[in-house]
Structure 1
Amino acid sequence: MYRSRRRPLPVVALLLVSLSVLAGCTNAPPPPLVESTSSAPTSEPPPTEPAQPKVVVAGIDELSGGFNPHALADQSPVTDALSELMLPSAFVPGPDGKQVLNDTLLKSAEVVGDADEFTVRYRIRTGAGWSDGAPIAAEDFVYLWEQMRDRSGVVNPVGYRMISDVESRQGGKTVLVTFDQPYPGWKSLFDHLLPAHLLKDAPGGWTDTLDKGYPASGGPFAIRRFDLDRGEVVLMRNERFWGKPAKSDRIVLRAADRSANLNALRSGKVQMGMFTVDGRTMDALRDLDEQVSLTTLPRPVTSTLLLRRTSPQLSDVRVRRAVLAALDRNALVRKGTGGGPAQQLRAHSQVLAPSQPGYSPTEPAGEFPDSPRPQRVERLLKEAGYQHTGGSWVRDGAPLNLVIAAQFEDESYEDVANAVAEQLAAQDIQATVITPEGDELYRTMLPADPETRGSPDAAEVDLAVAPRPVGPDPASTMASQWGCPGVDPETGRTAAFNMTGFCDRLLQPTIEAATTGETSFEKASARVEPALWSSAVALPLYQEAQVLAVRREISGVEDGPGFAGPFSSAGDWVGAPGESYDW
């Protein structure tokens, strides 16, 4: 082979000699010189700068740890926003606020007609998956069911506790959910699914892993950067989202105080904001005129003063009524709302919130006045065996000294709790305010079993200023917040109580009948509401609300049907060119 490569060389040499002779015998001029292509002018256009990503910067009030949408301790507007962006739900609010199938996640969901027990079949779309590549599957349904069934301090768990089994079929893409009893409110379940494959075996998965957002997303955006110190969350388009791609590349949430948020909105440093505002800030927002559009958005939470009848000092209904008679309710509402839009959402019902369909006041006329009634305080406490001596109310040698709890670092709840203490002190009822962490308050203190009164947790809290969540199925809300605790048939142990320790065995069949559909919610509520008011276990104050402010340079922002909120439409937001955040 080596020789075969060298054999043509003589032929090439002969050809070169021939060409040289012919060139010497012609009068033709030599060929012109040709310039190297490296120096030739180019007709290509000059390089252009890469397009800047579309970014929406949203101002928020605060950014603190804890974003589990199913935990009472983590309820906040930011939790609402992030869960709508990244955690898929089986059903979502439709244009009229009623629950409709989320056809981005599910192909179908229906009651199985020929099953022996009440069973619902969910069929998950094949392409539905988490941002880390894992499929959204039956294990995510199982995980949420198990957590909501067994834990205290969760939001409206009754429907989950009616489930007897959750089965996986067809490689996890079909889920069969079996209930102990018929449950017409089943469409309210399995909202904001969590990535079970990342949480179920993680230490503190339910309580701690969600302190800094979500480890994976099943929505149009995913967390790119989370900085509690700077008060900033950067969300990027989730390229693995199987649904319609988001129109903007980034959403940035920036936390600041009211003044800074207002200035940033005025200058355009933020294009939209979701703020809890007082009256003064609301006036300043209105002064922006046509620069921004403003919308008041009620949240699915009623701020409520709870009176725990499982507390030794408040076990007598006359004492609870005396406490309520000592209060200036109007002042408490002003304190909690700061004169902002929520002040117009005064609550006068124990189950429904003012913005919910079907809401009407159920409070007995004149029974719970808005201003203090000292004479009634005195009469009720004396009937309960107290004597007024030395500037305090005393029974059996012990003064009436109440402990009021408000969640740590929740400004509005703390303000209301301090105002309650001051108003009680004006009627010579001693009170102390404590501010435990949310997990401690909602998981151990408030739902404590009254039979364990010797434990510190059970006796520590007499009153609490707390959120009372509402949901799309009011019968489930009523059962979760006012129903008696269940009893484990295998162990005989009582499940966690509701936050006031309320349990009326005569009312319980009515509450259960509404949950199973044997009677209507309206009929059941007509019996339950008067009993709750008579028991003086809760004083609703106002439905919480935020203001949505949107500048003109951003498009696609919708209020959101029901309680979905504007972040449910974030995939359609179109922001302005902005920072790339390539880190």
Structure 2
Amino acid sequence: MPVEVVVGVDELEGGFNPHTLADLSPTSSALASLMLPSVFRPAADGSLQLDTTLMESAEVVPDAEKFTVRYRIRREASWSDGAPIAAEDFVYLWEQLRSQPGVADPAGYQLIDDVASRQGGKTVEVTFAKPYPGWQTLFTNLLPAHLLRDAPRGWATVLDEGYPASGGPFAIRQVDLDRGEIILERNDRYWGPPAKSDRIVLRAVDKARQVEALRSGDSHLAVFGADAATMRSLHELGDAVQLITVPRPATMQVLLRPDSRALADVTVRNAVLAALDRQALIEAGTGGGPAEQLQAHAQVLAPSERGYTPTEPAGALPRRPDPAQVERLLGEAGYQRSGGAWVRDGRPLNLVIAAPFEHESYLKIAEAAAQQLRDQGIQATVVTPTGDQLFGEMLATSPRTGESGGAGSVDMAIAPRPAGGDPAAMMASSFGCPGVAADSEQPFPYNVAGFCDELLQPTIDAAMTGQVPFADAAANVESVVWREAIALPLYQQAQVLAVRREVTGVQAGFGLSGPFSTAADWVGTPADNDGY
């Protein structure tokens, strides 16, 4: 009988591209850990360590004319269809991540001038426009370029059904999103140490059934977003189940977009913040689960990251909605209260709040925020585009184009702020002005906040290239972002990992890599049947 591990997970959202904000989900992280190769991975102390299963070496080339990194890929490293993992996979990722809208962490890739293939594609030379100390965070979760480059539906949807090939210890056997099940089996073409179990079954069920499946043994472990009631039920299982909080590489935030007509005035943005009940928004998103313990009070680093310290200025935000402050600020901005609404120049203040409809917690936060604003007389409407539409189109439009239906039609957005990469690059990706591709003069996409401060940009650039220490640059950038009321951080996403005793080898994972990064070492139990 094959040995299998059955894992209870949250709803299996469609879209498995780990590089896009739209697909930034536990499911995409899990599958990427199981199947996509990365040059570096987090070590026990959180530092990055070369993955020697994939790589022979990766090092800065001494005395090169420009800052250059040479990567040597192991000869035997190949995708599950037999194609070699090679330079074309590096080129493909670079081309997509520097230029596509709505990607999670583009800034480091936008510093690259060229990716060149050497020695039959098994050596890659990457040339940068400027020195980049954070280069080790690049080229994680490589994708099979030979299968994706000419895919008819394009980057945004090319991985909606899973990965067409694997470069890790497991490969997809079956994806059934209707039934809420993904079956992975050991990748026989994997050149590294073989996985210890024959297959892993990801099974999406609701919170009550997660607990029941753990109690009955139908699940070996579960990784999911539990609320307070579910946590109580899990604790009632006693010693049968070990519980671990697993922080995820994303901070939930409310964006107040300065490029929208309604929120172009910082006084109005501050009035909106004075109308919001932040703690209630956190409760709406977390349900009182583990993420509630990871409340965010900084604009760049997530609470579980090394070096995180709160940067929120004292008294910058009211602890609860402040009607007097709302009234004072909107009055300063030229609004008057009329018939239960705030009106200026005959137009009511009516804010459009966008949240991706695939993610329940985002929607709950958006609805709660809209109600809080209405309670203060600020009209608010929630729109729920797909993640691809929101991050790839609506929020990526240049504010200077004034395209109808573009960025200007969304005033606020509930969005994730990625974590876990190079901090300076994360800061540049979240709050930097868009640069221009050196080879084509094409401008890169805007950040999802629609924020660009030309006076701040040299500080962000200097942090990227190591000329200014990250901590010094971040202090400068964060003070401006807080003052300009661009983003309201809420909490770092987190899940609970619940493990039954009969499965071994399960760990929380180093850094923000998550438990699925240890899946090759999981040992489950013989399956009830050897079919699928």
TM-score, length basis structure 2:
0.99
CA distance in 1, matches of 2:403, 2:74: 52
Which amino acid counterpart does residue 208 of structure 1 have in structure 2?
T
Deviation at 1:367, TM superposition (A): 1.0
Asked whether the equivalents of residues 452 and 458 of structure 1 are also in contact (C-alpha less than 8 Å), the reply is no
For residues 101 and 73 of structure 1, the distance between their equivalents in structure 2, rounded to whole angstroms, comes to 28
Shift of the alpha carbon at 1:213?
1.1
Is the contact between residue 55 and residue 579 of structure 1 (CA under 8 Å) also seen in structure 2? no
Q: What displacement does 1:582 show?
A: 3.2
Structure 1 residues 268, 156: closer, same or farther in 2, change over 3 A?
Answer: same
Where in structure 2 are the equivalents of 1:132-171 lying within 5 Å? 132-171=81-120
Aligned with residue 276 of structure 1, among 221, 225, 229? 225
**Given that residues 373 and 380 in structure 2 are in contact (C-alpha distance below 8 angstroms), is that contact kept between their aligned partners in structure 1?**
yes
1:454 Cα deviation from its structure 2 partner:
4.1
Q: What is the match of residue 354 of structure 1? A: 303
Task: Give the alignment of 1:477-556 within 5 angstroms.
Answer: 477-488=426-437, 493-556=442-505
Q: CA deviation at 1:580?
A: 4.4
> What's the counterpart of residue 47 of structure 1?
none
Q: Which structure is higher in RCO with an 8 Å CA cutoff and minimum separation 6?
A: 2
CA contact (8 A) 1:98 1:472 kept: no
SS in 2 for 1:70: coil
**Is the CA contact (8 Å cut-off) linking 1:327 and 1:370 kept in structure 2?**
no
Question: Structure 1's 399 and 410: CA in aligned 2 closer, same or farther, altered over 3 A?
Answer: same
Matches within 5 A, 1:427-466: 427-466=376-415
The one-letter code of the counterpart of 2:133 is P
Q: CA deviation at 1:314?
A: 0.2
- Unaligned 5+ segments in structure 2 are none
Shift of 1:472: 2.8
- 1:464-511: per-residue Cα shift (whole Å, max 9, x none)? 111111123100000111011113467655332111111111111010
CA distance in 2, matches of 1:462, 1:510: 27
Looking at structure 2, the residues matched to 125 and 352 of structure 1 have their Cα atoms a distance apart, in angstroms, of 34
Distance 1:581 1:430 in 2: 58
Task: Give the match's secondary structure for 1:260.
Answer: helix
Structure 2 CA distance, aligned partners of 1:224 and 1:204? 22
1:178 aligns to what?
Answer: 127
**Shift in Å, 1:355:** 0.4
Code of the aligned partner of 1:353: A
Match of 1:309 among 247, 252, 258: 258
* Map of 2:519 onto structure 1: 570
Distance 2:75 2:154 in 1: 26
The code of the aligned residue for 1:495 comes to F
Name the counterpart of 2:35.
Answer: 86
| Amino acid aligned to 1:186 | W
Which residue in the other structure is 2:351 paired with?
Answer: 402
Q: Do residues 387 (structure 1) and 341 (structure 2) align?
A: no
For residues 469 and 239 of structure 2, what CA distance do their matches in structure 1 show?
46
2:211 is equivalent to residue 262 of structure 1: yes
Quick one: distance in 2 between partners of 1:454 and 1:140?
Answer: 34
- Whether the 8 Å CA contact 2:13–2:358 is kept in 1: the answer is no
CA deviation profile, 1:314-366 (whole Å, cap 9, x unmatched): 00000000000001111111111001111111100000000001101000001
User: Which of 35, 39, 62 lines up with 1:113 in the alignment?
Assistant: 62
Equivalent residue in structure 2 for 1:202, among 117, 131, 151:
151
Aligned-partner SS, 2:324: helix
* TM-aligned CA deviation for residue 436 of structure 1: 0.2
Q: Separation in 2 of the partners of 1:404 and 1:472?
A: 28
**Contact map agreement 2:296 2:489 (CA 8 A) in 1:** yes
Aligned partner of residue 443 in structure 1, secondary structure: helix
Tell me the CA shift for residue 146 of structure 1. Answer: 0.4
Supply the distance in 1 between the matched residues of 2:483 and 2:443 (Cα, whole angstroms). Answer: 26
**1:205 offset after TM fit, Å?**
4.2
Compute the displacement of 1:206 (Å): 2.2
- State yes or no: 1:233 paired with 2:179: no
Aligned residues: 532
Distance 1:90 1:492, change over 3 A: closer
Change (3 A) 1:472 1:208: closer
Give 1:4's aligned residue.
Answer: none
Cα distance, 1:558 vs. partner?
1.1
Residue 344 of structure 1 is matched in structure 2 by: 293
- For residues 438 and 51 of structure 2, the distance between their equivalents in structure 1, rounded to whole angstroms, comes to 36
Asked if 2 retains the 8 angstrom alpha-carbon contact of 1:99 and 1:472, the reply is: no
Runs of 4+ in 1 over 4 A off after TM superposition: 488-493
Aligned partner letter, 1:303: M
Contact 2:98 / 2:444 at 8 angstroms: preserved in 1?
no
TM-superposition CA deviations, 1:126-166 (whole Å, max 9, x none): 11000111110000000000001110100110110110100
Q: Tell me the percent identity.
A: 62
Residue 77 of structure 1 pairs with residue 26 of structure 2: yes
Task: Give RMSD over aligned pairs.
Answer: 1.1
Q: Deviations over 1:113-132 (max 9, x none)?
A: 02100000000001100011
SS of 1:73's partner is: coil
The alpha carbon displacement at 1:409 in A equals 2.6
* Cα distance in 2 between the residues matched to 1:98 and 1:84: 17
Residues 524-553 of structure 1: CA distance to partner in whole angstroms, max 9, x if unpaired? Answer: 011111111000000000000000000000
In 2, the alpha carbon distance for the partners of 1:567 and 1:498 equals 29
TM-score (norm 1): 0.90
